[in-house]
Amino acid sequence: MDERDLLIISALYKYKNITKAADAFYISQPAVTTRIKHIEESLGYKLIYRSNKGITFTAHGKYTAQFANKILADINDFKNNLSDVGKGIVGTLKIASPSIIGRYYLPAFLEKFQGFYPKVQFEIYIKPSTEILKLVNSQLVDFGFTKHCDEFSKEEKIFLLSYPVLLVNKRPFELNDLPNMKQVSYPYEEYYYELIKKWWKDNFEQPPQIGSHVTNLDLCKEMVFSGLGYGFLPEILIQECPYPLYTKKLYYKDKSPFTRSTWLIFKQSSLENKISNLFYNYVKKSKFSDFLRSRNKKNFNTIYK
C-alpha cells in the first residue's frame, strides 16, 4: 500500500461512506471501490462490507484503518520535522475532549503549552466520554479528557479536577418540591445518567416530571436560565447567567457529594513520542482548574443553599 491507499482507508473509516470518501479526494466512487478491492486482494483479507446504510469494517478492516491512521500521523510528523530540523519542537498533538472541557478549559490550557512550543499544532476532537475511551484505546488520538476512566491503569491517567453538579432553578425551591416541578433534561451520557438516577432514587420514590427534553447541555442551561424548569447543571455554567439563580448542592444517601471528575487518559506507548511526552509532563505540573475561562469563575449571581 502507498500513502494514497492509506489516505483512502483512513477517510472510509472516518466517514463510513464511499461517496464522502470519494469527495474528499475529488475522485469517483468506482475509483474508490476499485482501489479498496485491489488493497483487499493485496492483503488477502476482506476489509469492508457495503450495504444501503453505508459500509461496515471487518475486524481486519478496523485493524488496517488504525494502522493507516498511525502511519499517516507518522508521515505527517516526519514531513513537519524534516522541514524544521534544528528549529525546535514541531509536530501535531491529537486530543479528544468532551464539549464542556473543550469550551471552558482547553483554549487557555493549550495556549500556554503552545507558548513553550510555538511550532506544535493541535487536532481537537469534541466527543462524548464513551467515544473518547475508544479513540484513546485505538490510539487514534494521543490524549483524551474524560469523565470516567475505570479501565485505565493509574500509570495511564492523570486526575485533573472535580466540580459539583447542582440543582438549578430560576426561583426559590426546596428539594422536597422536585417531584412536582418540571425538569429540563437532555441526552445525558450513560454514565452520568446512572449517577442522576442513583441520586433521584436515594431521595424520591416517584419519577421526575420531564417538562422539556432538549438536544444538548447548552440549550438545557438556557431553558433553566429562562425559568422553564430546573436542571442538573455543572457548577461552572451557572456564572454565565446575568441574574441570580437558586441552586442546591447534591449529596447521595451516604452523604458523599454529587460531583463529576475529569481525567487525562493516554496509552503508555504514546509517551514515546517526544511531543506527547512534553505534553504529559506539562499536564502533570499544571493546575488544570486554573485554566477555567475567566467569565465562568465564581461571582455573586448564585444563591447557594
The 10s digit of each residue's pLDDT in 10-60 is 989 998 988 888 888 888 889 989 999 999 999 999 999 988 878 999 999
Decide yes or no: CATH 3.90.420.10 for domain 163-260+297-304.
Answer: no
Q: Distance from CA of residue 208 to its chain's centroid?
A: 28
Q: Which residue has the cell 486482494?
A: 41
In tens, the pLDDT along 56-114 reads 999 999 999 999 999 988 888 777 666 544 456 888 999 999 999 999 999 999 999 99
Predicted pLDDT of residue 50:
86
Q: How many other CB atoms are there within 10 angstroms of residue 244's CB atom? A: 12
In tens, the pLDDT along 109-141 reads 999 999 888 889 999 999 988 889 999 998 999
Q: Distance from CA of residue 48 to its chain's centroid?
A: 27
Q: Which residue has the cell 492483503?
A: 43
Per-domain residue ranges for the chain? 1-83, 163-260+297-304
Q: What cell does 168 get?
A: 438549578
Q: Which CATH architecture has domain 1-83?
A: Orthogonal Bundle (1.10)
Mean pLDDT of the chain: 88
Q: What angle do CA 22, 27, 32 make, to 5 degrees?
A: 55
Does 301 score more than 50 pLDDT? no
Buried (b) or exposed (e) across 162-175, using 16+ Cβ within 10 A? Answer: ebbbbbbbbeebee
